[in-house]
Structure 1
Amino acid sequence: MSAICVLGLGVGCSCGPVHRRPTEGGPTRKVARIVQEYPHSTEAFTQGLVFHQGRLFESTGQKGSLREISLESATPLWIERLGDVFTEGLASDGERLYQLTWTEGLLYTWSGLPPTRERTTPYEGDGWGLCYWQGRLVRSDGSSTLTFHDPETFEPLDSVEVTLQGQPQEQLNELECANGVIYANVWHSTDVLEIDPSTGRVTAVIDASALARNVASQVRGITDAVLNGIAVEPGTGRMLMTGKLWPKLFEVRLETLD
Protein backbone atom coordinates (compact mmCIF):
# COMPACT_ATOMS: atom_id res chain seq x y z
CA MET A 1 0.00 0.00 0.00
CA SER A 2 1.04 3.59 0.43
CA ALA A 3 0.87 4.13 4.18
CA ILE A 4 2.13 2.56 7.39
CA CYS A 5 -0.54 1.15 9.66
CA VAL A 6 -0.77 -1.53 12.33
CA LEU A 7 -3.88 -3.66 12.00
CA GLY A 8 -2.72 -6.11 14.62
CA LEU A 9 -3.15 -3.38 17.24
CA GLY A 10 -6.40 -2.04 15.83
CA VAL A 11 -8.66 -5.04 15.41
CA GLY A 12 -11.33 -4.81 18.04
CA CYS A 13 -12.13 -8.49 18.18
CA SER A 14 -11.32 -11.77 19.86
CA CYS A 15 -8.36 -12.74 17.71
CA GLY A 16 -6.22 -15.64 18.78
CA PRO A 17 -2.79 -14.99 20.28
CA VAL A 18 0.11 -13.85 18.16
CA HIS A 19 2.69 -16.61 17.95
CA ARG A 20 6.23 -15.33 18.45
CA ARG A 21 9.55 -17.00 17.81
CA PRO A 22 12.37 -15.60 19.94
CA THR A 23 15.20 -17.02 17.86
CA GLU A 24 15.34 -18.37 14.32
CA GLY A 25 17.88 -19.71 11.89
CA GLY A 26 18.74 -17.85 8.73
CA PRO A 27 16.35 -17.99 5.76
CA THR A 28 17.09 -19.63 2.43
CA ARG A 29 18.18 -17.13 -0.21
CA LYS A 30 16.47 -17.32 -3.59
CA VAL A 31 16.36 -15.26 -6.77
CA ALA A 32 13.50 -14.72 -9.22
CA ARG A 33 14.77 -15.40 -12.76
CA ILE A 34 12.73 -13.97 -15.63
CA VAL A 35 11.34 -16.72 -17.86
CA GLN A 36 8.94 -14.70 -20.00
CA GLU A 37 7.67 -11.13 -20.33
CA TYR A 38 4.05 -10.17 -20.99
CA PRO A 39 2.30 -6.80 -21.49
CA HIS A 40 0.70 -5.12 -18.47
CA SER A 41 -1.44 -1.99 -18.25
CA THR A 42 0.46 1.09 -17.07
CA GLU A 43 -2.86 2.33 -15.69
CA ALA A 44 -3.15 -0.63 -13.32
CA PHE A 45 -2.12 0.30 -9.76
CA THR A 46 -1.72 -3.39 -8.92
CA GLN A 47 -2.86 -4.39 -5.45
CA GLY A 48 -3.84 -8.03 -5.94
CA LEU A 49 -3.17 -10.71 -8.56
CA VAL A 50 -4.64 -14.21 -8.53
CA PHE A 51 -5.61 -17.13 -10.74
CA HIS A 52 -9.31 -18.01 -10.44
CA GLN A 53 -11.08 -20.80 -12.31
CA GLY A 54 -8.38 -20.87 -14.96
CA ARG A 55 -8.39 -17.11 -15.48
CA LEU A 56 -6.14 -14.32 -14.22
CA PHE A 57 -7.70 -11.51 -12.17
CA GLU A 58 -6.25 -8.27 -10.83
CA SER A 59 -7.39 -5.80 -8.20
CA THR A 60 -6.24 -2.22 -8.68
CA GLY A 61 -6.14 0.70 -6.29
CA GLN A 62 -6.56 4.47 -6.47
CA LYS A 63 -9.67 4.38 -8.69
CA GLY A 64 -10.62 0.86 -7.67
CA SER A 65 -11.39 -1.97 -10.04
CA LEU A 66 -11.60 -5.69 -10.46
CA ARG A 67 -10.39 -6.85 -13.85
CA GLU A 68 -9.74 -10.02 -15.79
CA ILE A 69 -6.45 -9.77 -17.66
CA SER A 70 -4.63 -11.85 -20.23
CA LEU A 71 -0.99 -12.47 -21.11
CA GLU A 72 -1.54 -11.36 -24.69
CA SER A 73 -2.60 -7.74 -24.23
CA ALA A 74 -2.36 -4.93 -21.68
CA THR A 75 -6.05 -4.22 -22.27
CA PRO A 76 -8.28 -6.01 -19.71
CA LEU A 77 -10.60 -8.71 -21.00
CA TRP A 78 -13.25 -7.54 -18.51
CA ILE A 79 -13.35 -4.77 -15.93
CA GLU A 80 -15.68 -3.63 -13.15
CA ARG A 81 -14.82 -0.09 -12.07
CA LEU A 82 -15.48 0.71 -8.42
CA GLY A 83 -15.18 4.49 -8.42
CA ASP A 84 -13.34 6.15 -5.57
CA VAL A 85 -13.05 2.96 -3.51
CA PHE A 86 -9.36 2.07 -3.04
CA THR A 87 -9.43 -1.69 -3.56
CA GLU A 88 -6.53 -3.84 -2.45
CA GLY A 89 -5.67 -7.54 -2.04
CA LEU A 90 -7.47 -10.27 -3.98
CA ALA A 91 -7.91 -13.97 -3.16
CA SER A 92 -9.69 -17.00 -4.61
CA ASP A 93 -11.04 -20.08 -2.87
CA GLY A 94 -11.76 -21.70 -6.23
CA GLU A 95 -15.43 -20.72 -6.10
CA ARG A 96 -15.39 -17.06 -5.13
CA LEU A 97 -13.13 -14.03 -5.33
CA TYR A 98 -12.52 -11.92 -2.22
CA GLN A 99 -11.35 -8.32 -2.56
CA LEU A 100 -10.12 -6.03 0.21
CA THR A 101 -10.41 -2.27 0.48
CA TRP A 102 -7.64 -0.15 1.96
CA THR A 103 -9.32 2.10 4.55
CA GLU A 104 -13.01 1.71 3.72
CA GLY A 105 -13.29 -1.40 5.91
CA LEU A 106 -15.20 -3.41 3.32
CA LEU A 107 -14.62 -6.88 1.90
CA TYR A 108 -16.21 -7.56 -1.49
CA THR A 109 -17.14 -11.16 -2.31
CA TRP A 110 -17.60 -11.98 -6.00
CA SER A 111 -19.09 -15.06 -7.64
CA GLY A 112 -19.69 -16.30 -11.16
CA LEU A 113 -18.00 -15.51 -14.46
CA PRO A 114 -17.86 -12.71 -15.23
CA PRO A 115 -17.83 -11.96 -11.50
CA THR A 116 -20.84 -10.37 -9.85
CA ARG A 117 -20.60 -8.84 -6.40
CA GLU A 118 -22.40 -11.25 -4.07
CA ARG A 119 -22.00 -9.43 -0.78
CA THR A 120 -20.14 -6.67 1.04
CA THR A 121 -18.82 -7.41 4.53
CA PRO A 122 -17.55 -4.72 6.93
CA TYR A 123 -14.40 -5.22 8.98
CA GLU A 124 -12.13 -3.17 11.22
CA GLY A 125 -8.65 -2.03 10.27
CA ASP A 126 -6.81 -1.57 6.99
CA GLY A 127 -6.61 -4.04 4.13
CA TRP A 128 -3.44 -4.53 2.09
CA GLY A 129 -2.88 -8.10 0.86
CA LEU A 130 -5.13 -11.18 0.83
CA CYS A 131 -4.78 -14.87 0.04
CA TYR A 132 -6.62 -18.14 0.78
CA TRP A 133 -4.99 -20.83 2.88
CA GLN A 134 -6.60 -24.03 4.20
CA GLY A 135 -10.14 -22.68 4.46
CA ARG A 136 -9.17 -19.26 5.79
CA LEU A 137 -8.43 -15.87 4.28
CA VAL A 138 -5.09 -14.37 5.27
CA ARG A 139 -4.87 -10.57 5.43
CA SER A 140 -1.91 -8.23 5.67
CA ASP A 141 -2.25 -4.63 6.81
CA GLY A 142 1.22 -3.17 6.34
CA SER A 143 2.42 -4.22 9.79
CA SER A 144 4.26 -7.43 10.73
CA THR A 145 0.94 -9.14 11.55
CA LEU A 146 -0.97 -11.55 9.34
CA THR A 147 -4.59 -12.08 10.39
CA PHE A 148 -6.60 -15.21 9.51
CA HIS A 149 -10.31 -14.72 8.77
CA ASP A 150 -13.42 -16.81 8.26
CA PRO A 151 -14.29 -16.47 4.53
CA GLU A 152 -18.04 -16.29 5.17
CA THR A 153 -18.14 -13.69 7.94
CA PHE A 154 -14.58 -12.30 7.72
CA GLU A 155 -14.42 -12.68 11.48
CA PRO A 156 -10.78 -12.72 12.66
CA LEU A 157 -9.83 -16.20 13.89
CA ASP A 158 -6.11 -16.03 14.64
CA SER A 159 -2.93 -14.14 13.79
CA VAL A 160 0.81 -14.57 13.52
CA GLU A 161 3.65 -12.11 13.68
CA VAL A 162 6.02 -12.43 10.72
CA THR A 163 9.66 -12.55 11.80
CA LEU A 164 13.00 -12.84 10.05
CA GLN A 165 15.64 -14.30 12.35
CA GLY A 166 13.55 -13.16 15.30
CA GLN A 167 12.92 -9.62 14.04
CA PRO A 168 9.42 -8.45 13.05
CA GLN A 169 9.02 -7.79 9.32
CA GLU A 170 6.71 -4.87 8.61
CA GLN A 171 5.29 -3.41 5.40
CA LEU A 172 3.82 -6.76 4.33
CA ASN A 173 1.73 -6.06 1.27
CA GLU A 174 0.34 -8.29 -1.50
CA LEU A 175 0.04 -11.98 -0.56
CA GLU A 176 -0.12 -15.30 -2.39
CA CYS A 177 -0.76 -18.61 -0.62
CA ALA A 178 0.84 -21.45 -2.59
CA ASN A 179 3.38 -24.26 -2.30
CA GLY A 180 2.77 -24.55 1.44
CA VAL A 181 3.93 -20.99 2.18
CA ILE A 182 2.66 -17.43 2.07
CA TYR A 183 4.51 -15.25 -0.42
CA ALA A 184 4.51 -11.58 0.58
CA ASN A 185 5.64 -8.46 -1.20
CA VAL A 186 7.39 -5.98 1.08
CA TRP A 187 6.23 -2.49 0.16
CA HIS A 188 8.93 -0.40 -1.58
CA SER A 189 11.26 -3.41 -1.60
CA THR A 190 12.35 -5.83 -4.31
CA ASP A 191 12.36 -8.68 -1.80
CA VAL A 192 9.56 -11.23 -1.63
CA LEU A 193 9.25 -13.23 1.59
CA GLU A 194 8.29 -16.88 1.94
CA ILE A 195 6.46 -17.25 5.24
CA ASP A 196 5.51 -20.33 7.24
CA PRO A 197 1.74 -19.83 7.81
CA SER A 198 1.81 -21.69 11.14
CA THR A 199 4.63 -19.78 12.82
CA GLY A 200 5.08 -16.56 10.85
CA ARG A 201 8.74 -17.39 10.38
CA VAL A 202 10.34 -16.20 7.14
CA THR A 203 11.81 -19.34 5.62
CA ALA A 204 13.18 -17.75 2.44
CA VAL A 205 13.91 -14.33 1.00
CA ILE A 206 13.49 -13.98 -2.77
CA ASP A 207 15.50 -11.34 -4.61
CA ALA A 208 13.23 -10.00 -7.36
CA SER A 209 15.36 -6.96 -8.19
CA ALA A 210 15.91 -8.16 -11.78
CA LEU A 211 12.25 -7.42 -12.50
CA ALA A 212 12.50 -3.86 -11.20
CA ARG A 213 15.67 -3.27 -13.21
CA ASN A 214 13.93 -4.53 -16.34
CA VAL A 215 11.26 -1.82 -16.18
CA ALA A 216 13.34 0.91 -14.49
CA SER A 217 13.71 3.12 -17.54
CA GLN A 218 9.98 2.97 -18.24
CA VAL A 219 8.82 3.91 -14.74
CA ARG A 220 11.59 6.34 -13.82
CA GLY A 221 10.30 9.16 -11.64
CA ILE A 222 7.09 7.34 -10.64
CA THR A 223 7.49 6.89 -6.89
CA ASP A 224 4.69 4.37 -6.48
CA ALA A 225 5.74 2.12 -9.38
CA VAL A 226 7.02 -0.62 -7.09
CA LEU A 227 7.03 -4.41 -7.16
CA ASN A 228 3.60 -5.71 -6.16
CA GLY A 229 1.57 -8.64 -7.40
CA ILE A 230 2.23 -12.40 -7.13
CA ALA A 231 0.14 -15.19 -8.63
CA VAL A 232 0.84 -18.93 -8.77
CA GLU A 233 -1.19 -20.94 -11.26
CA PRO A 234 -2.85 -24.01 -9.71
CA GLY A 235 -1.84 -27.24 -11.39
CA THR A 236 1.17 -25.89 -13.27
CA GLY A 237 2.92 -23.95 -10.50
CA ARG A 238 3.70 -21.15 -12.95
CA MET A 239 4.54 -17.98 -11.01
CA LEU A 240 3.77 -14.47 -12.22
CA MET A 241 4.97 -11.18 -10.73
CA THR A 242 4.41 -7.55 -11.63
CA GLY A 243 4.33 -4.07 -10.11
CA LYS A 244 2.13 -1.03 -9.73
CA LEU A 245 1.89 0.86 -13.03
CA TRP A 246 4.46 -1.46 -14.63
CA PRO A 247 4.36 -2.01 -18.39
CA LYS A 248 5.24 -5.69 -17.98
CA LEU A 249 4.11 -8.78 -16.15
CA PHE A 250 6.75 -11.48 -15.69
CA GLU A 251 6.73 -15.24 -15.48
CA VAL A 252 9.54 -16.13 -13.10
CA ARG A 253 11.41 -19.19 -11.89
CA LEU A 254 12.73 -19.32 -8.34
CA GLU A 255 16.31 -20.52 -7.91
CA THR A 256 17.97 -21.23 -4.58
CA LEU A 257 21.29 -19.43 -4.06
CA ASP A 258 22.44 -21.16 -0.86
Structure 2
Amino acid sequence: MIRFPLRLAAAAAAAALAAGCSVSDAPDHTTTDTSSGPVADTAPTDLRAEVISTHRMDPDSFTQGLTVVPADTADGDRIRILVSTGLRGASRIYTAWLDGDEIVSADIDDSLFGEGSAVSGPFIWQLTWTSGVVIKRDAHTLAELGRQHIAGEGWGLCYNDATGMLIQSDGSNRLRLRDPHTFADKGLLPPVTDGGAPVDNLNELDCGGEVIWANVWQQPLLVGIDPATGHVIHRVDLSALDPQTGHRDDVANGIARIPHTDRYLVTGKRWGVIYQVRFVPAG
Protein backbone atom coordinates (compact mmCIF):
# COMPACT_ATOMS: atom_id res chain seq x y z
CA MET A 1 0.00 0.00 0.00
CA ILE A 2 1.26 3.43 -0.94
CA ARG A 3 -0.21 6.51 0.66
CA PHE A 4 0.16 10.14 -0.19
CA PRO A 5 -0.49 12.70 2.60
CA LEU A 6 -3.65 14.72 2.04
CA ARG A 7 -3.10 18.47 2.00
CA LEU A 8 -6.05 20.29 3.48
CA ALA A 9 -7.46 23.31 1.68
CA ALA A 10 -5.45 26.44 2.35
CA ALA A 11 -8.63 28.34 3.04
CA ALA A 12 -9.26 26.39 6.24
CA ALA A 13 -8.34 28.52 9.25
CA ALA A 14 -6.32 27.07 12.16
CA ALA A 15 -8.14 26.18 15.39
CA ALA A 16 -6.56 26.51 18.79
CA LEU A 17 -8.86 24.59 21.07
CA ALA A 18 -7.57 23.90 24.57
CA ALA A 19 -8.04 20.41 25.98
CA GLY A 20 -11.45 20.16 27.62
CA CYS A 21 -12.94 23.15 25.80
CA SER A 22 -16.37 22.63 24.27
CA VAL A 23 -16.71 23.12 20.55
CA SER A 24 -20.26 21.85 20.23
CA ASP A 25 -21.53 25.25 19.06
CA ALA A 26 -19.06 25.51 16.19
CA PRO A 27 -20.86 25.47 12.83
CA ASP A 28 -20.28 22.58 10.44
CA HIS A 29 -17.30 22.88 8.03
CA THR A 30 -15.86 25.86 9.84
CA THR A 31 -12.98 26.39 12.21
CA THR A 32 -13.08 28.71 15.16
CA ASP A 33 -9.81 30.53 15.81
CA THR A 34 -9.48 31.22 19.52
CA SER A 35 -5.72 31.64 19.56
CA SER A 36 -3.81 34.79 20.51
CA GLY A 37 -0.93 33.97 18.20
CA PRO A 38 1.63 31.20 17.77
CA VAL A 39 3.29 29.67 20.80
CA ALA A 40 6.90 28.56 20.50
CA ASP A 41 7.59 24.84 20.48
CA THR A 42 9.47 23.35 23.41
CA ALA A 43 11.73 20.32 23.05
CA PRO A 44 9.72 17.07 23.31
CA THR A 45 10.49 14.48 25.96
CA ASP A 46 12.00 11.31 24.47
CA LEU A 47 10.42 8.13 25.80
CA ARG A 48 10.50 4.42 25.11
CA ALA A 49 7.92 1.65 25.49
CA GLU A 50 8.61 -0.57 28.51
CA VAL A 51 6.88 -3.90 27.88
CA ILE A 52 4.74 -5.20 30.74
CA SER A 53 3.09 -8.12 28.94
CA THR A 54 2.26 -9.46 25.49
CA HIS A 55 -1.07 -10.69 24.17
CA ARG A 56 -1.87 -12.76 21.11
CA MET A 57 -3.75 -11.26 18.19
CA ASP A 58 -5.02 -12.44 14.81
CA PRO A 59 -1.80 -12.44 12.69
CA ASP A 60 -3.81 -11.55 9.57
CA SER A 61 -5.15 -8.31 11.09
CA PHE A 62 -3.80 -5.45 8.96
CA THR A 63 -4.44 -3.20 11.93
CA GLN A 64 -5.70 0.32 11.23
CA GLY A 65 -7.43 1.08 14.49
CA LEU A 66 -7.10 -0.18 18.09
CA THR A 67 -9.40 0.90 20.91
CA VAL A 68 -10.09 -0.27 24.46
CA VAL A 69 -13.87 -0.66 24.66
CA PRO A 70 -15.46 1.06 27.69
CA ALA A 71 -15.93 -1.58 30.38
CA ASP A 72 -19.26 -3.28 30.88
CA THR A 73 -20.21 -4.55 34.34
CA ALA A 74 -20.33 -8.08 32.91
CA ASP A 75 -16.69 -7.82 31.77
CA GLY A 76 -15.22 -8.08 35.26
CA ASP A 77 -11.47 -7.52 35.02
CA ARG A 78 -11.27 -8.56 31.38
CA ILE A 79 -10.31 -5.94 28.81
CA ARG A 80 -12.25 -5.76 25.56
CA ILE A 81 -10.66 -4.25 22.49
CA LEU A 82 -11.98 -3.01 19.15
CA VAL A 83 -9.81 -3.64 16.08
CA SER A 84 -10.45 -2.30 12.58
CA THR A 85 -8.39 -3.63 9.70
CA GLY A 86 -7.52 -2.65 6.14
CA LEU A 87 -6.79 -4.05 2.66
CA ARG A 88 -9.48 -4.17 -0.01
CA GLY A 89 -11.32 -7.46 0.02
CA ALA A 90 -10.03 -8.28 3.51
CA SER A 91 -11.11 -5.34 5.68
CA ARG A 92 -13.15 -6.05 8.77
CA ILE A 93 -13.89 -4.78 12.25
CA TYR A 94 -14.07 -6.94 15.36
CA THR A 95 -14.13 -6.98 19.13
CA ALA A 96 -12.01 -9.36 21.17
CA TRP A 97 -10.80 -9.99 24.68
CA LEU A 98 -7.24 -8.92 25.30
CA ASP A 99 -6.32 -12.61 25.62
CA GLY A 100 -7.08 -12.94 21.90
CA ASP A 101 -10.51 -14.61 21.91
CA GLU A 102 -12.78 -12.84 19.43
CA ILE A 103 -16.31 -11.79 20.41
CA VAL A 104 -17.96 -10.51 17.23
CA SER A 105 -16.72 -9.57 13.74
CA ALA A 106 -18.13 -7.77 10.70
CA ASP A 107 -16.70 -7.58 7.19
CA ILE A 108 -17.00 -4.48 5.02
CA ASP A 109 -17.57 -4.15 1.27
CA ASP A 110 -14.75 -5.52 -0.85
CA SER A 111 -14.51 -2.15 -2.60
CA LEU A 112 -13.64 -0.36 0.66
CA PHE A 113 -10.29 -0.14 2.44
CA GLY A 114 -10.93 -0.09 6.18
CA GLU A 115 -9.18 2.42 8.44
CA GLY A 116 -9.40 3.65 12.03
CA SER A 117 -12.44 3.35 14.29
CA ALA A 118 -13.69 4.67 17.62
CA VAL A 119 -16.40 3.94 20.16
CA SER A 120 -18.76 6.85 20.79
CA GLY A 121 -21.39 5.88 23.36
CA PRO A 122 -23.75 3.33 21.74
CA PHE A 123 -22.08 3.76 18.35
CA ILE A 124 -18.88 2.88 16.56
CA TRP A 125 -17.60 5.00 13.69
CA GLN A 126 -15.37 3.25 11.16
CA LEU A 127 -13.34 5.18 8.59
CA THR A 128 -12.40 4.04 5.11
CA TRP A 129 -9.32 5.26 3.28
CA THR A 130 -10.05 7.05 -0.02
CA SER A 131 -13.73 6.35 -0.67
CA GLY A 132 -15.09 9.16 1.52
CA VAL A 133 -17.32 6.61 3.32
CA VAL A 134 -17.68 6.49 7.11
CA ILE A 135 -19.67 3.58 8.55
CA LYS A 136 -21.79 3.95 11.69
CA ARG A 137 -22.25 0.75 13.68
CA ASP A 138 -23.95 -0.57 16.79
CA ALA A 139 -21.28 -0.70 19.50
CA HIS A 140 -22.32 -4.17 20.72
CA THR A 141 -23.34 -6.09 17.60
CA LEU A 142 -21.23 -4.16 15.03
CA ALA A 143 -24.32 -4.08 12.80
CA GLU A 144 -24.18 -1.29 10.24
CA LEU A 145 -26.60 1.54 11.11
CA GLY A 146 -25.82 3.96 8.29
CA ARG A 147 -23.13 5.79 6.38
CA GLN A 148 -21.84 9.32 6.14
CA HIS A 149 -19.71 10.85 3.41
CA ILE A 150 -16.70 13.07 4.00
CA ALA A 151 -14.24 14.93 1.82
CA GLY A 152 -10.67 13.70 1.77
CA GLU A 153 -9.07 10.63 3.26
CA GLY A 154 -9.76 8.74 6.48
CA TRP A 155 -6.79 7.43 8.52
CA GLY A 156 -7.12 7.43 12.33
CA LEU A 157 -9.96 8.12 14.76
CA CYS A 158 -10.42 8.44 18.52
CA TYR A 159 -13.03 9.68 21.00
CA ASN A 160 -12.10 12.36 23.53
CA ASP A 161 -14.02 11.98 26.80
CA ALA A 162 -13.05 15.46 27.98
CA THR A 163 -14.56 17.29 24.98
CA GLY A 164 -17.15 14.74 23.93
CA MET A 165 -15.78 14.94 20.39
CA LEU A 166 -14.24 12.57 17.88
CA ILE A 167 -10.81 13.43 16.48
CA GLN A 168 -9.83 12.29 12.98
CA SER A 169 -6.51 12.15 11.13
CA ASP A 170 -6.15 12.18 7.35
CA GLY A 171 -2.41 11.69 6.75
CA SER A 172 -1.51 15.36 7.02
CA ASN A 173 -0.37 17.26 10.12
CA ARG A 174 -3.93 18.39 10.87
CA LEU A 175 -6.45 16.74 13.18
CA ARG A 176 -10.15 17.34 12.60
CA LEU A 177 -12.97 17.43 15.14
CA ARG A 178 -16.10 15.41 14.39
CA ASP A 179 -19.53 15.31 16.02
CA PRO A 180 -19.90 11.94 17.82
CA HIS A 181 -23.54 11.54 16.77
CA THR A 182 -23.54 12.73 13.16
CA PHE A 183 -19.83 12.83 12.20
CA ALA A 184 -20.34 16.45 11.12
CA ASP A 185 -17.19 18.51 10.64
CA LYS A 186 -16.53 20.69 13.69
CA GLY A 187 -13.23 22.26 12.68
CA LEU A 188 -9.51 21.73 13.02
CA LEU A 189 -7.08 21.54 15.91
CA PRO A 190 -3.85 23.55 15.53
CA PRO A 191 -1.30 22.17 13.04
CA VAL A 192 0.91 19.48 14.59
CA THR A 193 4.55 20.58 14.73
CA ASP A 194 7.80 19.37 16.25
CA GLY A 195 10.33 22.15 16.75
CA GLY A 196 8.32 24.29 14.36
CA ALA A 197 8.35 21.68 11.56
CA PRO A 198 5.08 20.05 10.48
CA VAL A 199 4.62 16.38 11.43
CA ASP A 200 2.86 14.74 8.48
CA ASN A 201 1.56 11.18 8.15
CA LEU A 202 -0.36 11.27 11.44
CA ASN A 203 -2.22 7.98 11.49
CA GLU A 204 -3.80 5.91 14.29
CA LEU A 205 -4.89 7.99 17.29
CA ASP A 206 -5.60 7.72 20.99
CA CYS A 207 -7.16 10.66 22.82
CA GLY A 208 -8.28 9.05 26.07
CA GLY A 209 -6.15 11.36 28.23
CA GLU A 210 -4.85 14.93 28.19
CA VAL A 211 -2.40 14.12 25.39
CA ILE A 212 -3.34 12.98 21.88
CA TRP A 213 -1.13 10.08 20.82
CA ALA A 214 -0.54 9.40 17.14
CA ASN A 215 1.34 6.82 15.15
CA VAL A 216 3.52 8.36 12.47
CA TRP A 217 3.03 6.20 9.40
CA GLN A 218 6.05 4.20 8.22
CA GLN A 219 8.02 5.10 11.35
CA PRO A 220 8.41 3.17 14.64
CA LEU A 221 7.30 6.34 16.37
CA LEU A 222 4.48 7.65 18.51
CA VAL A 223 4.09 11.36 19.10
CA GLY A 224 2.28 12.90 22.06
CA ILE A 225 0.48 16.07 20.98
CA ASP A 226 -0.72 18.98 23.09
CA PRO A 227 -4.23 19.58 21.65
CA ALA A 228 -4.20 23.25 22.71
CA THR A 229 -1.09 24.16 20.69
CA GLY A 230 -0.48 21.26 18.29
CA HIS A 231 3.06 20.92 19.61
CA VAL A 232 4.65 17.49 19.93
CA ILE A 233 5.55 17.23 23.62
CA HIS A 234 6.54 13.54 23.71
CA ARG A 235 8.20 11.13 21.29
CA VAL A 236 8.04 7.38 21.95
CA ASP A 237 10.53 5.10 20.19
CA LEU A 238 8.83 1.81 19.26
CA SER A 239 11.77 0.33 17.35
CA ALA A 240 12.36 -2.34 20.03
CA LEU A 241 8.87 -3.72 19.32
CA ASP A 242 9.50 -5.55 16.07
CA PRO A 243 7.76 -8.90 15.51
CA GLN A 244 9.65 -9.48 12.22
CA THR A 245 6.62 -10.36 10.09
CA GLY A 246 8.58 -10.19 6.85
CA HIS A 247 6.16 -7.76 5.17
CA ARG A 248 7.40 -4.28 4.31
CA ASP A 249 4.02 -2.70 5.05
CA ASP A 250 3.72 -4.24 8.52
CA VAL A 251 4.58 -1.04 10.36
CA ALA A 252 3.63 0.04 13.87
CA ASN A 253 -0.03 1.07 13.88
CA GLY A 254 -2.28 0.85 16.91
CA ILE A 255 -2.32 2.80 20.17
CA ALA A 256 -4.93 2.58 22.94
CA ARG A 257 -4.78 3.75 26.53
CA ILE A 258 -6.09 1.42 29.22
CA PRO A 259 -8.42 3.76 31.14
CA HIS A 260 -7.45 4.86 34.65
CA THR A 261 -3.93 3.46 34.31
CA ASP A 262 -0.53 4.54 33.01
CA ARG A 263 -0.52 1.62 30.54
CA TYR A 264 -1.10 1.50 26.81
CA LEU A 265 -1.68 -1.17 24.20
CA VAL A 266 0.41 -0.90 21.05
CA THR A 267 0.54 -3.10 17.96
CA GLY A 268 1.12 -2.98 14.21
CA LYS A 269 -0.13 -4.32 10.91
CA ARG A 270 -0.15 -8.15 10.90
CA TRP A 271 2.01 -8.22 14.02
CA GLY A 272 0.04 -11.04 15.65
CA VAL A 273 0.81 -9.56 19.06
CA ILE A 274 -0.33 -6.66 21.23
CA TYR A 275 2.20 -5.18 23.65
CA GLN A 276 1.01 -3.78 26.97
CA VAL A 277 3.48 -1.03 27.81
CA ARG A 278 4.35 1.96 29.94
CA PHE A 279 6.06 5.00 28.48
CA VAL A 280 9.28 5.62 30.41
CA PRO A 281 12.27 7.97 29.88
CA ALA A 282 14.52 6.90 27.03
CA GLY A 283 18.11 5.96 27.73
Alignment partners' CA distance in 2, 1:45 and 1:51: 18
Q: 1:51 to 1:126 in 2, by over 3 A?
A: same
Larger displacement relative to structure 2 (21-30 or 178-187) = 21-30
Partner of 1:196: 226
Q: 2:57 aligns with which of 32, 40, 43?
A: 40
- Structure 1 residue 83: Cα displacement: 3.1
Alignment gaps of 5+ in structure 2: 13-27, 72-79
Within 5 Å, give how 1:201-220 maps onto structure 2: 201-212=231-242, 215-216=243-244, 219-220=245-246
The two structures, once aligned, show a CA RMSD in angstroms of 2.2
Q: 1:239 to 1:135 in 2, by over 3 A?
A: same
Identity of aligned residues (%): 34
TM-score by length of 2: 0.82
Is contact 1:193–1:205 with CA below 8 Å preserved after alignment? yes
Matched, 1:135 2:164: yes
Q: 1:10 to 1:42 in 2, by over 3 A?
A: farther
> How many aligned positions are there?
252
Alignment partners' CA distance in 1, 2:9 and 2:212: 21
Partner of 1:224: 249
Equivalent residue letter for 2:166: L
Partner of 2:76: none
Partner of 1:246: 271
Aligned-partner SS, 1:234: coil
Q: 1:79 to 1:151 in 2, by over 3 A?
A: same
Matched, 1:107 2:137: no
TM-score by length of 1: 0.90
Partner of 1:16: 31
Is contact 1:39–1:247 with CA below 8 Å preserved after alignment? yes
- Whichever structure has more strand as a proportion of its residues is 1
- Structure 1 residue 161: Cα displacement: 0.8
Aligned-partner SS, 1:210: coil
Q: 1:173 aligns with which of 178, 188, 203?
A: 203
- Structure 1 residue 10: Cα displacement: 8.4
Q: 1:87 aligns with which of 107, 114, 117?
A: 114
- Structure 1 residue 51: Cα displacement: 1.4
Partner of 2:24: none
Q: 1:191 to 1:21 in 2, by over 3 A?
A: farther
- Structure 1 residue 50: Cα displacement: 0.5
Within 5 Å, give how 1:62-101 maps onto structure 2: 62=87, 63-73=90-100, 76-84=102-110, 85-101=112-128
Alignment partners' CA distance in 2, 1:255 and 1:2: 32
Larger displacement relative to structure 2 (192-201 or 76-85) = 76-85
Alignment partners' CA distance in 1, 2:11 and 2:269: 28
- Structure 1 residue 183: Cα displacement: 0.4
